[in-house]
Protein backbone atom coordinates (compact mmCIF):
# COMPACT_ATOMS: atom_id res chain seq x y z
CA UNK A 1 0.00 0.00 0.00
CA UNK A 2 1.53 3.28 -1.13
CA UNK A 3 0.84 6.47 0.81
CA UNK A 4 -2.52 8.01 0.06
CA UNK A 5 -3.02 11.26 -1.83
CA UNK A 6 -6.58 11.58 -0.49
CA UNK A 7 -7.94 10.63 2.90
CA UNK A 8 -11.45 10.04 1.61
CA UNK A 9 -12.91 9.91 -1.90
CA UNK A 10 -16.68 9.98 -2.22
CA UNK A 11 -18.81 8.81 -5.13
CA UNK A 12 -22.45 9.87 -5.34
CA UNK A 13 -25.29 11.52 -7.18
CA UNK A 14 -24.34 15.18 -7.71
CA UNK A 15 -27.55 16.99 -6.77
CA UNK A 16 -28.32 20.70 -6.41
CA UNK A 17 -30.69 21.41 -3.52
CA UNK A 18 -33.71 23.70 -3.83
CA UNK A 19 -34.89 24.21 -0.24
CA UNK A 20 -38.18 25.61 1.01
CA UNK A 21 -39.59 25.93 4.51
CA UNK A 22 -43.20 24.79 4.36
CA UNK A 23 -45.95 23.24 6.47
CA UNK A 24 -47.20 19.68 6.91
CA UNK A 25 -50.19 20.46 4.70
CA UNK A 26 -47.98 20.88 1.65
CA UNK A 27 -46.59 17.35 2.04
CA UNK A 28 -50.08 15.90 2.42
CA UNK A 29 -51.48 17.86 -0.52
CA UNK A 30 -48.74 16.54 -2.77
CA UNK A 31 -48.70 12.96 -1.50
CA UNK A 32 -45.16 13.14 -0.11
CA UNK A 33 -43.84 10.71 2.49
CA UNK A 34 -42.35 12.85 5.22
CA UNK A 35 -38.65 12.32 5.87
CA UNK A 36 -38.09 10.24 2.76
CA UNK A 37 -36.31 10.70 -0.56
CA UNK A 38 -38.63 10.15 -3.51
CA UNK A 39 -37.25 9.89 -7.03
CA UNK A 40 -39.23 12.06 -9.42
CA UNK A 41 -39.23 12.54 -13.17
CA UNK A 42 -38.97 15.89 -14.95
CA UNK A 43 -42.74 16.41 -15.19
CA UNK A 44 -43.22 15.81 -11.48
CA UNK A 45 -40.21 18.05 -10.71
CA UNK A 46 -41.82 20.90 -12.63
CA UNK A 47 -45.15 20.39 -10.86
CA UNK A 48 -43.61 20.18 -7.38
CA UNK A 49 -41.41 23.22 -7.99
CA UNK A 50 -44.33 25.25 -9.34
CA UNK A 51 -46.30 24.55 -6.16
CA UNK A 52 -43.38 25.36 -3.83
CA UNK A 53 -42.76 28.73 -2.19
CA UNK A 54 -39.70 30.94 -2.74
CA UNK A 55 -36.57 28.85 -2.31
CA UNK A 56 -32.94 28.94 -1.27
CA UNK A 57 -30.49 27.04 -3.43
CA UNK A 58 -27.37 25.27 -2.31
CA UNK A 59 -25.22 22.45 -3.60
CA UNK A 60 -26.05 19.08 -2.07
CA UNK A 61 -25.87 15.37 -2.86
CA UNK A 62 -25.39 12.96 0.03
CA UNK A 63 -21.81 11.75 -0.50
CA UNK A 64 -20.79 15.23 -1.70
CA UNK A 65 -22.04 16.76 1.54
CA UNK A 66 -20.00 14.19 3.46
CA UNK A 67 -16.88 14.90 1.44
CA UNK A 68 -17.26 18.67 1.93
CA UNK A 69 -17.58 18.04 5.66
CA UNK A 70 -14.39 15.97 5.64
CA UNK A 71 -12.56 18.79 3.84
CA UNK A 72 -13.96 21.29 6.36
CA UNK A 73 -12.46 19.17 9.14
CA UNK A 74 -9.09 19.50 7.42
CA UNK A 75 -8.62 16.20 5.60
CA UNK A 76 -7.76 15.70 1.92
CA UNK A 77 -10.92 14.85 0.04
CA UNK A 78 -12.04 14.05 -3.50
CA UNK A 79 -15.44 13.61 -5.11
CA UNK A 80 -16.77 11.80 -8.16
CA UNK A 81 -20.24 12.72 -9.43
CA UNK A 82 -21.93 13.80 -12.65
CA UNK A 83 -23.34 17.22 -13.44
CA UNK A 84 -24.17 18.75 -16.80
CA UNK A 85 -22.18 21.75 -18.03
CA UNK A 86 -25.23 23.99 -17.49
CA UNK A 87 -25.58 26.99 -15.13
CA UNK A 88 -26.53 24.83 -12.18
CA UNK A 89 -23.73 22.39 -12.92
CA UNK A 90 -21.29 25.30 -12.86
CA UNK A 91 -22.62 26.45 -9.46
CA UNK A 92 -22.28 22.88 -8.21
CA UNK A 93 -18.72 22.46 -9.47
CA UNK A 94 -17.73 25.80 -8.00
CA UNK A 95 -19.07 25.00 -4.56
CA UNK A 96 -17.38 21.65 -4.15
CA UNK A 97 -14.04 22.91 -5.43
CA UNK A 98 -14.32 26.06 -3.32
CA UNK A 99 -14.73 23.76 -0.32
CA UNK A 100 -11.26 22.39 -1.03
CA UNK A 101 -12.38 19.13 -2.62
CA UNK A 102 -10.71 17.65 -5.71
CA UNK A 103 -13.52 17.28 -8.29
CA UNK A 104 -12.45 16.14 -11.72
CA UNK A 105 -15.44 14.23 -13.11
CA UNK A 106 -16.18 15.58 -16.60
CA UNK A 107 -19.50 17.41 -16.85
CA UNK A 108 -21.98 16.02 -19.40
CA UNK A 109 -22.30 18.21 -22.50
CA UNK A 110 -25.57 16.59 -23.60
CA UNK A 111 -28.47 14.78 -21.97
CA UNK A 112 -30.52 15.78 -18.96
CA UNK A 113 -29.86 18.90 -16.85
CA UNK A 114 -27.90 18.82 -13.60
CA UNK A 115 -29.92 16.93 -11.00
CA UNK A 116 -31.99 18.82 -8.44
CA UNK A 117 -33.65 17.85 -5.20
CA UNK A 118 -36.73 19.81 -4.17
CA UNK A 119 -36.53 19.74 -0.40
CA UNK A 120 -39.44 20.63 1.86
CA UNK A 121 -38.45 21.54 5.41
CA UNK A 122 -41.33 21.41 7.89
CA UNK A 123 -41.52 23.43 11.13
CA UNK A 124 -40.23 20.43 13.12
CA UNK A 125 -36.98 20.58 11.10
CA UNK A 126 -37.65 17.35 9.18
CA UNK A 127 -36.78 17.36 5.47
CA UNK A 128 -38.67 15.60 2.69
CA UNK A 129 -36.76 15.24 -0.55
CA UNK A 130 -38.00 14.96 -4.13
CA UNK A 131 -35.05 14.20 -6.33
CA UNK A 132 -34.77 14.54 -10.08
CA UNK A 133 -31.53 12.70 -10.87
CA UNK A 134 -30.91 14.45 -14.19
CA UNK A 135 -27.28 14.23 -15.29
CA UNK A 136 -26.48 12.05 -12.26
CA UNK A 137 -28.12 9.24 -14.23
CA UNK A 138 -25.14 9.30 -16.56
CA UNK A 139 -22.37 8.50 -14.10
CA UNK A 140 -20.47 5.67 -15.82
CA UNK A 141 -17.72 3.23 -14.86
CA UNK A 142 -15.44 5.28 -17.14
CA UNK A 143 -15.85 8.19 -14.73
CA UNK A 144 -13.88 6.19 -12.19
CA UNK A 145 -10.17 7.01 -12.40
CA UNK A 146 -8.32 3.91 -11.12
CA UNK A 147 -5.27 5.90 -10.03
CA UNK A 148 -7.38 8.32 -8.00
CA UNK A 149 -9.28 5.51 -6.27
CA UNK A 150 -6.11 3.60 -5.49
CA UNK A 151 -4.66 6.78 -3.98
CA UNK A 152 -7.53 7.25 -1.49
CA UNK A 153 -7.42 5.74 2.02
CA UNK A 154 -11.18 5.32 2.17
CA UNK A 155 -13.66 5.19 -0.69
CA UNK A 156 -17.10 6.29 0.44
CA UNK A 157 -20.18 5.38 -1.56
CA UNK A 158 -23.86 6.19 -1.23
CA UNK A 159 -26.66 3.64 -1.52
CA UNK A 160 -28.50 6.11 -3.73
CA UNK A 161 -26.05 5.09 -6.47
CA UNK A 162 -28.22 2.01 -6.98
CA UNK A 163 -30.91 4.24 -8.53
CA UNK A 164 -29.17 5.51 -11.69
CA UNK A 165 -28.64 2.72 -14.19
CA UNK A 166 -24.86 2.59 -14.59
CA UNK A 167 -23.62 3.99 -11.29
CA UNK A 168 -23.62 0.62 -9.52
CA UNK A 169 -21.08 -0.61 -12.05
CA UNK A 170 -18.96 2.46 -11.28
CA UNK A 171 -19.41 1.65 -7.59
CA UNK A 172 -18.28 -1.97 -7.99
CA UNK A 173 -15.35 -0.96 -10.14
CA UNK A 174 -14.24 1.53 -7.50
CA UNK A 175 -14.61 -1.00 -4.70
CA UNK A 176 -12.46 -3.54 -6.50
CA UNK A 177 -9.72 -1.03 -7.28
CA UNK A 178 -9.77 0.17 -3.67
CA UNK A 179 -9.46 -3.30 -2.20
CA UNK A 180 -6.77 -4.28 -4.68
CA UNK A 181 -4.84 -1.25 -3.37
CA UNK A 182 -5.51 -2.35 0.23
CA UNK A 183 -7.89 0.56 0.90
CA UNK A 184 -11.19 0.55 2.80
CA UNK A 185 -14.67 0.91 1.33
CA UNK A 186 -17.56 2.50 3.19
CA UNK A 187 -21.23 2.64 2.22
CA UNK A 188 -24.16 4.61 3.55
CA UNK A 189 -27.52 2.92 3.17
CA UNK A 190 -28.93 6.39 2.35
CA UNK A 191 -32.67 5.94 2.88
CA UNK A 192 -35.10 3.29 4.19
CA UNK A 193 -36.97 3.20 0.87
CA UNK A 194 -33.70 2.90 -0.99
CA UNK A 195 -32.83 -0.06 1.24
CA UNK A 196 -36.22 -1.54 0.47
CA UNK A 197 -35.52 -1.28 -3.27
CA UNK A 198 -32.08 -2.92 -3.08
CA UNK A 199 -32.06 -4.95 0.16
CA UNK A 200 -30.61 -8.16 -1.25
CA UNK A 201 -27.94 -6.34 -3.22
CA UNK A 202 -26.87 -4.28 -0.20
CA UNK A 203 -26.66 -7.41 1.98
CA UNK A 204 -24.64 -9.09 -0.74
CA UNK A 205 -22.21 -6.12 -0.82
CA UNK A 206 -21.72 -6.49 2.92
CA UNK A 207 -21.46 -10.27 3.09
CA UNK A 208 -19.10 -10.48 0.10
CA UNK A 209 -16.77 -7.92 1.67
CA UNK A 210 -17.35 -5.45 -1.17
CA UNK A 211 -17.86 -2.89 1.59
CA UNK A 212 -16.05 -2.82 4.95
CA UNK A 213 -18.02 -0.17 6.79
CA UNK A 214 -21.74 0.63 6.81
CA UNK A 215 -23.52 3.82 7.89
CA UNK A 216 -27.23 3.50 8.55
CA UNK A 217 -29.90 5.21 10.58
CA UNK A 218 -32.31 3.14 12.63
CA UNK A 219 -35.04 2.99 10.01
CA UNK A 220 -32.57 1.93 7.33
CA UNK A 221 -31.25 -0.78 9.66
CA UNK A 222 -34.77 -2.01 10.37
CA UNK A 223 -35.53 -1.98 6.66
CA UNK A 224 -32.31 -3.89 5.90
CA UNK A 225 -33.05 -6.73 8.30
CA UNK A 226 -36.84 -6.41 8.22
CA UNK A 227 -37.05 -6.36 11.97
CA UNK A 228 -38.13 -3.74 14.46
CA UNK A 229 -35.92 -5.25 17.15
CA UNK A 230 -32.73 -3.24 17.34
CA UNK A 231 -30.69 -5.93 19.12
CA UNK A 232 -31.53 -8.51 16.48
CA UNK A 233 -30.59 -6.05 13.76
CA UNK A 234 -27.34 -5.07 15.49
CA UNK A 235 -26.40 -8.69 15.96
CA UNK A 236 -26.88 -9.30 12.24
CA UNK A 237 -24.98 -6.15 11.34
CA UNK A 238 -21.98 -7.25 13.41
CA UNK A 239 -21.89 -10.54 11.52
CA UNK A 240 -22.34 -8.98 8.10
CA UNK A 241 -19.80 -6.14 8.15
CA UNK A 242 -16.55 -5.30 9.88
CA UNK A 243 -17.82 -1.96 11.18
CA UNK A 244 -21.41 -0.73 11.33
CA UNK A 245 -22.37 2.73 12.54
CA UNK A 246 -26.04 3.26 13.37
CA UNK A 247 -27.33 6.79 13.90
CA UNK A 248 -30.30 7.43 16.17
CA UNK A 249 -30.98 11.17 15.81
CA UNK A 250 -31.08 12.87 19.23
CA UNK A 251 -30.26 9.54 20.92
CA UNK A 252 -26.74 9.53 19.45
CA UNK A 253 -25.18 6.57 17.68
CA UNK A 254 -24.04 2.99 18.13
CA UNK A 255 -20.76 1.75 16.67
CA UNK A 256 -20.96 -2.01 16.11
CA UNK A 257 -17.94 -4.19 15.46
CA UNK A 258 -16.82 -7.72 16.35
CA UNK A 259 -15.50 -6.30 19.63
CA UNK A 260 -18.90 -5.04 20.69
CA UNK A 261 -21.14 -2.01 20.53
CA UNK A 262 -19.99 1.45 21.61
CA UNK A 263 -22.65 4.08 22.26
CA UNK A 264 -21.96 7.79 21.74
CA UNK A 265 -24.45 10.51 22.71
CA UNK A 266 -25.66 13.21 20.33
CA UNK A 267 -24.06 16.66 20.49
CA UNK A 268 -26.23 19.28 22.21
CA UNK A 269 -27.90 21.86 19.96
CA UNK A 270 -29.75 25.13 20.51
CA UNK A 271 -32.44 24.70 17.89
CA UNK A 272 -33.21 22.10 15.24
CA UNK A 273 -33.79 24.00 11.97
CA UNK A 274 -33.32 21.54 9.11
CA UNK A 275 -32.22 17.90 9.26
CA UNK A 276 -31.04 17.97 5.62
CA UNK A 277 -27.50 16.58 5.60
CA UNK A 278 -27.57 15.27 9.20
CA UNK A 279 -26.53 11.74 8.24
CA UNK A 280 -24.11 13.03 5.62
CA UNK A 281 -22.23 15.22 8.07
CA UNK A 282 -22.33 12.50 10.70
CA UNK A 283 -20.49 10.25 8.24
CA UNK A 284 -18.05 13.09 7.56
CA UNK A 285 -17.05 13.37 11.19
CA UNK A 286 -16.79 9.61 11.65
CA UNK A 287 -14.69 9.01 8.54
CA UNK A 288 -12.45 11.93 9.46
CA UNK A 289 -11.84 10.32 12.86
CA UNK A 290 -11.04 6.99 11.21
CA UNK A 291 -8.46 8.44 8.82
CA UNK A 292 -6.85 10.25 11.76
CA UNK A 293 -6.65 6.93 13.63
CA UNK A 294 -9.07 7.94 16.41
CA UNK A 295 -10.90 5.32 18.50
CA UNK A 296 -14.55 4.62 17.75
CA UNK A 297 -15.81 6.76 20.59
CA UNK A 298 -13.87 9.79 19.35
CA UNK A 299 -15.01 9.09 15.79
CA UNK A 300 -18.59 9.13 17.08
CA UNK A 301 -18.01 12.43 18.88
CA UNK A 302 -16.59 14.07 15.76
CA UNK A 303 -19.57 12.70 13.84
CA UNK A 304 -22.06 14.07 16.36
CA UNK A 305 -20.38 17.47 16.30
CA UNK A 306 -20.52 17.76 12.50
CA UNK A 307 -24.14 16.61 12.38
CA UNK A 308 -25.10 19.11 15.10
CA UNK A 309 -23.65 22.01 13.08
CA UNK A 310 -25.56 21.19 9.90
CA UNK A 311 -29.00 20.69 11.47
CA UNK A 312 -28.98 24.14 13.04
CA UNK A 313 -29.31 25.96 9.71
CA UNK A 314 -30.96 25.54 6.33
CA UNK A 315 -28.95 23.40 3.88
CA UNK A 316 -26.75 20.34 3.95
CA UNK A 317 -23.28 21.87 3.86
CA UNK A 318 -21.44 23.27 6.90
CA UNK A 319 -21.55 27.06 7.30
CA UNK A 320 -18.52 27.32 9.54
CA UNK A 321 -15.13 25.61 9.64
CA UNK A 322 -15.73 22.22 11.24
CA UNK A 323 -12.05 22.12 12.10
CA UNK A 324 -12.40 25.25 14.24
CA UNK A 325 -15.60 23.90 15.76
CA UNK A 326 -13.93 20.61 16.69
CA UNK A 327 -10.97 22.45 18.18
CA UNK A 328 -13.29 24.53 20.37
CA UNK A 329 -14.88 21.32 21.62
CA UNK A 330 -11.51 19.81 22.42
CA UNK A 331 -11.75 17.13 19.74
CA UNK A 332 -8.62 16.08 17.82
CA UNK A 333 -8.27 17.61 14.35
Contacts to its own copies from residues 98-127, by CB under 8 A: 98-99, 113
315 belongs to the binding site for its own copies (CB under 8 A): yes
| Residue 20 Cβ vs its own copies, minimum distance, rounded to whole Å | 8
φ/ψ of residue 100, rounded to 5:
90, 15
| Residue 157 Cβ vs its own copies, minimum distance, rounded to whole Å | 22
Burial class (CB in 10 A: 0-12, 13-18, 19+), 64: buried
Rounded Cα gap, residues 289 and 301, in angstroms: 9
Burial class (CB in 10 A: 0-12, 13-18, 19+), 129: buried
**For residue 199, how many other CB atoms are within 10 A of its CB?**
15
Contact 317, 65 (CB under 8 A): yes
52 belongs to the binding site for its own copies (CB under 8 A): yes
Length of the chain: 333
Piece in contact with its own copies (CB under 8 A), picked from 56-64, 202-210, 213-221, 281-289: 56-64
Rounded Cα gap, residues 314 and 326, in angstroms: 21
Q: Which of 24, 85, 86, 126 binds its own copies (CB under 8 A)?
A: 86
Piece in contact with its own copies (CB under 8 A), picked from 96-104, 146-154, 225-233, 262-270: 96-104
Rounded Cα gap, residues 26 and 325, in angstroms: 35
Output the DSSP codes for 156-193.
Answer: EEEGGGGSSTTHHHHHHHHHHHHHHTT-EEEEE---HH
| Residue 90 Cβ vs its own copies, minimum distance, rounded to whole Å | 9
57 belongs to the binding site for its own copies (CB under 8 A): yes
Contacts to its own copies from residues 13-32, by CB under 8 A: 18, 21
Rounded Cα gap, residues 101 and 118, in angstroms: 24
328 belongs to the binding site for its own copies (CB under 8 A): no
50 belongs to the binding site for its own copies (CB under 8 A): yes
206 belongs to the binding site for its own copies (CB under 8 A): no
56 belongs to the binding site for its own copies (CB under 8 A): yes
Q: Which of 68, 170, 303, 306 binds its own copies (CB under 8 A)?
A: 68
Q: Which of 4, 38, 47, 91 binds its own copies (CB under 8 A)?
A: 91
Q: Which spans of this chain sit near its own copies (rule: CB under 8 A)?
A: 18, 21, 49-50, 52-59, 68, 86-88, 91, 94-96, 98-99, 113, 315, 317, 319
Amino acid sequence: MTSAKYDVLGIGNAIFDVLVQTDEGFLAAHGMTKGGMALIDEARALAVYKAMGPATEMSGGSAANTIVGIASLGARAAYVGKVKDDQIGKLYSHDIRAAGVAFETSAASAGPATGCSYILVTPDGERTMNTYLGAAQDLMPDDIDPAQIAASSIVYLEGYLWDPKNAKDAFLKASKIAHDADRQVALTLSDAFCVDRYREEFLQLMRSGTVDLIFANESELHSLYQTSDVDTALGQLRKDVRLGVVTRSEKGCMVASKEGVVEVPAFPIDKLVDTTGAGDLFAAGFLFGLVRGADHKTCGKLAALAAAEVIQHIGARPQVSLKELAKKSGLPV
